[in-house]
C-alpha cells in the first residue's frame, strides 16, 4: 500500500497494488479526478482529454479548459459547472455559490473514527488514509475530504467533515459522500429496487444523457432502493467485465445520482441532500457525512461483491462476530403469531432442541394486551396473563431445555393505546396542529430528543441487564411521516430525519457496547432497512418477510451483490407459503436458505415425523459445514435457462465447494443445461460426495456439470465437492 505525491505534476496516487486512485491539482487551486481502476505503477498524465474549444460555457483562463468539462473531484455549484454539485452551502451572502479551493493534503497515522456515525475501521497496516483540506472562498466553510484505501479489499472509503470557522451560521443543503468522475463512454447502470416482500430486485439499463437517480424519503433507506449504484461496461457479467460500485454506510434518507453529460462523461454521486434535507451549522460546529464505499472490479459482479464482502466482514462488522458461526434459530412468529403462551413456547422449544436448533426467538405478542398490533407498543411490559412470571420465566424455560433465548422488540414505535403515548404525546414525530399519520397502528418516537433516547435505553437495559437474553430481533415496521420535532425551531426542521438516524445510532452504540455477548438482528418489515449502517451494530439482518423459496432466490441474489451471506437471515417456513401460497418441497426450502444465515419459522407440531427427521438432518448438515462456509467466498453463477439460479461458496483454501442449483419449472423439452462452477482450483481433483464421481476443477469450471432429470417444479440440488485429499466432508443425509 502507498500514498504517493508527485509535486512536479501536483498529483497524489493511492494504491494497494491492485487498484489505483489518482487526483491532480489544477494550478494548485482546484482538485481534479484523474483515474480510478486497475493498479498503476505510476501515473504520468496519460488519459487526460486534450483541451478543445466549446461555446456557451465559461473558460478557465485562455486554455480551452471549461468549468463544465473539468473532472472535478468534489464539484460545487454556481461557478460555471452546471452538472450536479456534491457540496451546497449558503453563507452570509445568501448566494447558492461556492468556490472550493485546495489548501493542503496529508497522510494520517490512522483512519479517523466517528462519534456519531458508523464507519469502517482498520488496524495499523490494514489501511492508509489521505486527508485533503479545502476551503469555500464564498461561505468560509472548511471542508476535509477523507480517502481510505484498504490493504485487503479493493475499496476506497470516502467521507467529509465540514466545519464553520466563522461567526455566523451556515446552511448545508447538499453534501454528497462521494462524487466519482468517469471518462466518456458507453455504460450500464445497475441499482436495486423493491417493496415489502420483494426486496433487492435488480434493475439494469443503459446510461443515457441526463441524470438517473434513486433514493429514499422514507426516513430509512427503505425497501424501495438500496443506497447503492454500479456503473459498468455493457458487456459485464457475473464473472467478467468492468464494474464501478458504490454503497453508503447509512440507514436514513439518501440520494444516489448518476449523470451523463452531452459529451458522454459520467458523474456518479451518493450521499445526503434533496429537498427534505437542510442543516444549520453554527460557528465552531462540524458536520460529518456518512461514509461511502467505492470499489472497482475487473471481474464482473462477483468481483465487486467479493470486494464489498471483504470490507464489510473485516472492517465494519463487530470483531466479536467476525467469522463466528451464528446459531441455527427457531423463530416463533409463523408458529404462534401474537397468541403466545408458556405452554406453546415449551412445546416448540422442546421440538426445536430435539431437531438440533440452538436458539429460540420469541417474536411479537409477548407484551400486547390482545392478539393484534393495535396496542401496548412503547410500554414494553410483559403481559403476565400470557406469560406468568414474565420474560424471565420464558427465558429460564428455554435455557432449561438447552437453548439460547431471543426476544423481539420494536423500540422506535409507540401505539396510541399505550401508557407511554398518554404520558408523553409530544414525544412522537408530528407537525403542530396536524393529526399525525398512523402506520401499522403506530407512531414513531422522536429519536432526536435526548429524553426519548434515555427512556428507550432504560427499557433495553432493564431486559438485557438480567443476563438472560442472548439475542434481540430489533424491528421497525413503518416509515417516517410528519417528520417534525417539538424540540427544534422552525428553521431547523430540515434536520429531523438525519437527527432521527443519529439518535438511533447513539442508542445502538450504547446497547451493543454494553452487551457484546448478545447477538442483535436487524429487521424492518423484512429488509426495509438492510444497509451497511445497520451492519455496524447488527451482525445479521432479516432479509425479507417473504420466505417463499422461489422468491427468495431473487431477493438473496440481489442482496448478495453487496452483503456477505452470513449476515442475511434465511428461514425455512411452512408450505403453502404464508406470503405467496406457493408449495415447494422441504428440501428446496432448505437448499435455498442453507448458504445464508439459517433459521426455521413454522409450527413444528404440524410437521410429520418424516419432516422432523428431515429437518434434523438439515440442521446437522448446516452445523457441520458452518465454519468453512463462513470463511468462504460466495459466488453467483451465470446460467443459460430463465428461472434457473446457481450460487455457491468455495472454502478459503479451495478444498471444498457447496453449490445450490434452483430450477423454477421442469421443462421436458428443453435442452439439458450444464452448470459451470466458479472459484475452484483448476489443477485439483474434486469428488462429488453424493455420487462419488471425480472431476477436475478446470473441467467443472469450463465444461460444467449436468444434473439428472427431475420431473418436478421448484426443484433444488445441493452439490458438495471436496478435494480428493479431504476426508472430512462435513455432510449428512441431507446431502444425499
Residues involved in catalysis: 475, 545
DSSP 682: T
Other beta carbons within 10 angstroms of residue 185's beta carbon come to 14
Identify the CA nearest to 228 among candidates 273, 189, 265: 189
Q: Which residues pair with 13 in a beta bridge?
A: 4, 22
Closest by CA position to 395, among listed 427, 368, 428, 359: 359
Task: Decide: helix, strand or coil at residue 724.
Answer: coil
Dihedral sign (CA 260, 261, 264, 265) = negative
Q: Is the omega angle on the peptide bond into residue 576 within 30 degrees of 0, that is, cis?
A: yes
- Tell me the CA distances in angstroms from 676 to 239, 660, 661, one per residue in order: 11, 12, 11
Continuous segment of H or E residues that includes residue 309: helix 300-315
The three cell numbers of residue 646 are: 446457481
Tell me the C-alpha distance between 1 and 193, whole Å: 36
> Within 13 Å, how many C-alpha atoms sit on residue 435's CB side?
3
CA dist 192 and 540 (Å) reads 20
246 cis-preceded (ω within 30 degrees of 0): no
Q: From CA 66, how far away is CA 414, in angstroms rounded? A: 55
What are the distances in angstroms from CA 641 to CA 29, 364, 622, 675?
A: 55, 41, 29, 10
Distance (Å, rounded) from C-alpha 413 to C-alpha 595? 33
How far apart are alpha carbons 600 and 586 in whole angstroms? 11
C-alpha separations of 227 from 251, 269, 599, 686 in Å: 9, 11, 27, 39
Contact of 508 with 262, CB cutoff 8 Å: no
8 Å CB contact between 601 and 333: yes
Residue 535, φ and ψ in degrees, nearest 5:
-65, -20
Cell numbers 497494488 correspond to 17
Q: CB–CB of 127/148 below 8 Å?
A: yes
CA–CA separation, 144 and 160 (whole Å): 6
Q: Are strands 404-409 and 359-362 parallel, antiparallel or unpaired?
A: parallel
The DSSP bridge partners found for residue 147 are 130, 158
The residue written with cell numbers 433495553 in the block is 460
Q: What are phi and psi of 697, to 5 degrees?
A: -60, -40
What is the Cα Rg of the chain in Å? 27
Q: Is 295 left (phi over 0), alpha (psi -120 to 50) or beta?
A: beta
The residues that bridge with 178 in the sheet, in sequence order, are: 270
The DSSP result for 415-430, as a single string, is -SBSHHHHH-GGGB--
Amino acid at each position: 500500500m502507498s500514498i504517493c505525491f508527485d509535486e512536479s505534476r501536483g498529483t497524489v496516487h493511492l494504491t494497494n497494488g491492485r487498484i489505483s486512485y489518482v487526483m491532480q491539482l489544477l494550478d494548485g487551486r482546484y482538485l481534479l479526478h484523474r483515474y480510478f481502476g486497475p493498479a498503476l505503477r505510476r501515473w504520468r498524465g496519460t488519459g487526460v482529454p486534450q483541451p478543445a474549444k466549446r461555446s456557451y460555457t465559461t473558460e478557465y483562463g485562455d486554455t480551452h479548459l471549461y468549468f463544465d468539462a473539468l473532472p472535478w473531484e468534489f464539484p460545487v455549484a454556481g461557478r460555471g459547472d452546471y452538472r450536479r454539485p456534491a457540496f451546497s452551502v449558503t453563507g452570509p451572502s445568501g448566494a447558492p455559490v461556492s468556490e472550493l479551493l485546495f489548501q493542503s493534503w496529508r497522510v494520517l497515522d490512522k483512519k479517523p473514527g466517528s462519534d456519531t456515525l458508523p464507519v469502517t475501521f482498520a488496524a495499523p497496516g490494514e489501511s492508509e488514509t489521505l486527508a485533503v483540506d479545502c476551503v469555500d472562498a464564498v461561505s468560509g466553510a472548511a471542508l476535509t475530504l477523507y480517502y481510505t484505501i484498504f490493504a485487503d479489499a479493493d475499496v476506497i472509503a470516502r467521507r467529509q467533515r465540514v466545519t464553520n470557522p466563522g461567526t455566523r451560521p451556515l446552511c448545508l443543503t447538499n453534501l454528497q459522500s462521494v462524487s466519482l468522475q468517469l471518462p466518456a463512454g458507453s455504460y450500464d447502470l445497475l441499482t436495486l429496487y423493491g417493496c415489502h416482500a420483494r426486496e433487492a430486485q435488480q434493475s439494469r439499463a443503459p446510461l443515457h444523457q441526463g441524470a438517473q437517480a434513486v433514493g429514499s424519503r422514507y426516513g430509512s433507506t427503505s425497501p424501495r432502493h438500496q443506497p447503492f449504484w454500479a456503473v459498468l461496461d455493457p458487456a459485464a457479467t457475473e464473472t467478467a467485465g468492468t464494474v464501478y460500485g458504490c454503497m453508503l454506510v447509512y440507514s436514513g434518507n439518501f440520494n444516489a445520482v448518476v449523470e451523463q453529460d452531452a459529451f458522454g462523461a459520467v458523474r456518479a454521486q451518493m450521499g445526503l441532500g434533496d429537498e427534505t434535507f437542510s442543516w444549520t451549522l453554527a460557528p465552531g460546529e462540524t458536520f460529518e457525512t456518512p461514509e461511502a464505499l467505492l470499489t472497482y472490479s475487473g471481474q464482473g459482479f462477483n468481483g465487486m461483491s467479493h470486494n464489498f464482502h471483504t470490507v464489510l466482514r473485516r472492517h465494519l462488522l463487530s470483531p466479536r462476530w467476525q467469522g463466528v458461526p451464528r446459531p441455527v434459530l427457531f423463530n416463533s412468529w409463523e408458529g404462534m403469531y401474537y397468541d403466545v403462551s408458556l405452554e406453546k413456547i415449551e412445546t416448540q422449544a422442546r421440538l426445536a432442541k430435539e431437531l438440533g436448533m440452538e436458539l429460540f426467538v420469541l417474536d411479537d405478542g409477548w407484551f400486547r394486551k390482545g392478539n393484534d398490533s393495535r396496542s401496548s407498543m412503547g410500554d414494553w411490559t410483559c403481559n403476565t396473563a400470557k406469560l406468568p412470571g414474565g420474560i424471565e420465566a420464558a427465558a429460564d424455560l428455554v435455557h432449561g431445555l438447552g437453548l439460547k433465548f431471543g426476544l423481539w422488540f420494536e423500540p422506535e414505535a409507540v401505539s396510541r393505546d399505550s401508557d407511554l403515548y398518554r404520558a408523553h404525546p409530544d414525544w412522537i414525530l408530528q407537525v403542530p396542529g396536524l393529526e399525525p399519520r398512523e402506520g401499522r397502528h403506530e407512531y414513531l418516537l422522536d429519536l432526536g430528543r435526548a429524553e426519548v433516547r434515555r427512556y428507550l435505553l432504560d427499557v433495553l437495559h432493564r431486559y438485557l441487564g438480567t443476563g438472560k437474553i442472548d439475542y434481540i430481533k430489533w424491528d421497525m415496521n413503518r416509515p417516517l411521516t410528519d417528520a417534525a420535532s417539538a424540540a427544534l425551531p422552525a428553521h431547523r426542521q430540515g434536520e429531523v430525519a438525519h437527527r432521527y438516524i443519529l439518535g438511533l445510532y447513539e442508542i445502538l452504540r450504547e446497547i451493543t457496547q454494553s452487551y457484546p455477548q448478545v447477538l442483535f438482528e436487524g429487521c424492518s418489515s423484512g429488509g426495509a432497512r438492510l444497509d451497511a449502517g445497520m451492519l455496524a451494530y447488527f451482525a445479521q439482518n432479516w432479509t425479507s418477510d417473504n420466505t417463499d423459496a422461489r422468491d427468495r432466490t431473487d431477493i438473496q441474489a440481489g442482496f448478495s451483490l453487496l452483503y456477505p451471506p452470513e449476515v442475511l437471515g434465511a428461514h425455512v417456513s411452512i408450505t403453502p407459503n404464508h406470503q405467496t401460497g406457493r408449495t415447494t418441497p422441504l428440501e428446496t426450502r432448505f437448499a435455498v436458505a442453507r448458504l445464508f444465515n439459517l433459521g426455521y419459522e413454522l409450527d413444528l407440531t404440524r410437521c410429520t415425523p418424516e419432516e422432523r427427521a428431515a429437518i434434523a438432518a438439515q440442521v446437522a448438515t448446516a452445523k457441520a459445514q458452518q465454519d468453512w462456509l463462513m470463511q468462504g467466498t460466495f459466488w453467483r453463477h451465470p446460467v443459460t435457462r430463465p428461472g434457473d439460479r446457481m450460487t455457491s461458496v468455495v472454502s478459503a483454501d479451495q478444498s471444498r465447494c457447496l453449490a445450490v442449483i434452483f430450477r423454477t419449472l421442469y421443462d421436458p423439452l428443453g435442452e439439458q443445461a450444464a452448470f459451470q462452477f466458479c472459484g475452484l482450483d483448476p489443477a485439483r481433483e474434486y469428488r462429488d460426495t453424493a455420487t462419488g464421481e471425480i472431476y477436475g476443477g478446470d473441467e467443472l469450471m469450463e465444461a460444467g456439470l449436468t444434473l439428472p432429470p427431475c420431473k418436478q417444479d421448484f426443484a433444488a440440488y445441493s452439490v458438495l465437492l471436496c478435494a480428493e485429499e479431504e476426508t472430512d466432508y462435513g455432510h449428512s443425509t441431507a446431502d444425499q
